[in-house]
Chain A
């Protein structure tokens, strides 16, 4: 079953010179190579933004610390946030989508391979532009280097008056350029999922991964575009003397908040829906059961997509909106918990009665389930406007969204890495190192982000570079910082595992997990053309049908 029918001929050919191979990578339009480029690029930025987070936490380990100056601290949290959202998680998600969607829907490439390459390089140069601000941000004024306006860059802090020099311009341009890349990729994903499916794969027979990424791409279209528009306005203000966000001329600072969060909240779902997609592929395979409630999962995802467009102002309760607006955004925020809850129950029901294999990808997904639930519960706490007036801009908020992004999204991402690493590299990862990574990371995660809620409840504001010793925050901040070192150790083990397994790992074969979706039907790593001939499918689990011809799935769907 799992032996390759076609012997790999590459072993007989002498390796090409390194320059030629690099040239191949730079000029490639192959979705698998672009996927790996996205992922490698995101790994690089994960390290950079991770180091920034460590410096932030070292600064906060005790009161009156002077590890970094206040100005540097502002730059660090701005760069950490911007990098993690735009140049780590998004490229990770696009990378996996790029690599896996054509394989899962039985296509030979994305719908528009050259647009795909263009989008990747736009994203890549956007990230470089952000970090070039360290060199070029001084501009003619000699003020500032990296952006220091926070990742949501509220007006009027971003005006020429308060942001002298070019650092904010680099921030705007980096997001604008990578935004074009994101929109290009989203267009490509939609076209691929809708138009490139192999014969027999109706929408109701697509893997959930393809469905969820389709919704994600739709959200990118509707969410990143407003950010692009807002960034253009900010450029008009800064370079052409415009007054969009200039309160001195009748402009409004609050409308920037609306425009930013019209992007910013759906963006959370742009990041988390692909994480759901990973969980929806990994949990069934390691529970040895088909996904529970396929159509309900699809419906819940689409519902999340719609509702997520109408909850943005729950980021703005402390601004002082009308009570009608507050009530609307409280209700819509509560409403989004319903489809999300449905998904959690579906994953649990998939595991219920299954023959669960506790391999590393499954461990990360199980941790995701619990942590995402807690993240959702603290989200509901802050979704109630009166409670948010107490918690707004405190460390409770920071703990909550890191619980979503690290405890939910990053855990699923690590699971996805371990699950698809054998497909992408052709080698098995080390299960021992994988489990070590899991335990280090989960200990570190809970030390950091469980305890971070408490100084928030005690009133510690976010973004402060230091604090007084008599507030009762000291011990909590100390524990939080200790956890970061566990997480860093976990990430190092993870990277070591990737590198070691790539060179020394056992050969994985085409289907190491006995899985059911089409990517496992081709070689590991897949040939450039993916499939020798286009596959034909008759159910949601084509490989199950192939392995069990006496009892195929299409009898039951």
Chain B
């Protein structure tokens, strides 16, 4: 049998399968969400189960400013992708850089908080059960912010060399899905660690 004969059946129907990049990114986000779910469940399950101090209320302070930074970076990346779709590469570059800056500011916030906890409060991942759950959940999120920042920076470099145009809008949209996911995870982590857990 000849493979070509399969095409004789007709001119072919209207055919618009979904975009594979978007489907793959959503699948990856589902997998990541499952990983975070387990860590959040562990955090909530172990709330107040620590046998020794310090507890969350003793050492944690609420990182309001840095949270605002990260959440507003979702807005900047949204408008960056939107302006690229309309062909505004310069606006895209500025907003993209703003996104990176806001993400980096958030990471700086996590860094200073950890520095204070480790060097001033002498509170580490092995101090007690709370330390284990706190550092691993917040650290897992920070790791995802770092990965996101790396990918955003790669796009920034390509933008500055003039290789990004409106033909890449779909890919940029897909990448921004990941960044939105990282932000949404922070809303959950923030609620669990700094609101409920404190």
B27 to chain A, nearest CB (A): 4
User: CA of A3 to CA of B46 in the docked complex: distance in angstroms?
Assistant: 66
User: CA of A5 to CA of B28 in the docked complex: distance in angstroms?
Assistant: 41
Q: In the complex, which of the residues A5, A112, A229, A249 contacts B35, with contact meaning CB atoms closer than 8 Å? A: A229
Q: In the complex, which of the residues B36, B45, B136 contacts A242, with contact meaning CB atoms closer than 8 Å? A: B136
Q: How many A-B residue pairs have CB under 8 A?
A: 168
Decide if B129 touches A250 in the complex (CB within 8 Å): yes
Known A-B contacts A194-B18, A221-B27, A222-B30; A255 and B45 likewise in contact (beta carbons under 8 Å): yes
Known A-B contacts A242-B125, A511-B1, A538-B9; A190 and B24 likewise in contact (beta carbons under 8 Å): yes
A225 interface contact, C-beta 8 A: yes
Known A-B contacts A194-B23, A229-B38, A255-B42; A240 and B1 likewise in contact (beta carbons under 8 Å): no
A542 interface contact, C-beta 8 A: yes
A469 to chain B, nearest CB (A): 46
Decide if B28 touches A187 in the complex (CB within 8 Å): yes
Tell me the B1-55 residues at the A interface (CB within 8 Å).
Answer: 1-7, 9-10, 12-13, 15, 17-20, 23-24, 27-28, 30-32, 34-39, 42, 45-46, 49-52
A199 interface contact, C-beta 8 A: yes
Which residues on B are within 8 Å of A, measured CB to CB? 1-7, 9-10, 12-13, 15, 17-20, 23-24, 27-28, 30-32, 34-39, 42, 45-46, 49-52, 125-126, 128-129, 132-133, 136, 140
- A contact residues around B24 at 8 Å (CB): 111-112, 187-188, 190-191
Q: At the interface with chain B, which of A51-59, A357-365, A450-458, A527-535?
A: A527-535
A-B contact pairs, 11 of them (CB 8 A): A194-B23, A196-B20, A221-B31, A225-B38, A240-B125, A243-B128, A250-B46, A251-B49, A255-B45, A511-B1, A545-B9
B interface footprint on A1-31 (CB within 8 Å = 1, 0 otherwise): 1111110000000000000000000000000
Q: By the criterion of a CB under 8 Å from any partner CB, how many residues of chain A are at the interface? A: 68
B8 to chain A, nearest CB (A): 8
User: CA of A111 to CA of B22 in the docked complex: distance in angstroms?
Assistant: 12
In the complex, given contacts A111-B24, A225-B35, what are 17 additional A-B residue pairs having Cβ atoms less than 8 angstroms apart?
A106-B6, A187-B24, A190-B27, A192-B20, A194-B20, A194-B23, A195-B20, A199-B12, A200-B13, A229-B38, A232-B140, A249-B52, A255-B45, A533-B4, A536-B7, A536-B12, A538-B10
Q: In the complex, which of the residues A228, A241, A250, A252 contacts B126, with contact meaning CB atoms closer than 8 Å? A: A241
User: CA of A520 to CA of B34 in the docked complex: distance in angstroms?
Assistant: 38
Decide if A533 touches B30 in the complex (CB within 8 Å): no
User: CA of A114 to CA of B129 in the docked complex: distance in angstroms?
Assistant: 41
A496 interface contact, C-beta 8 A: no
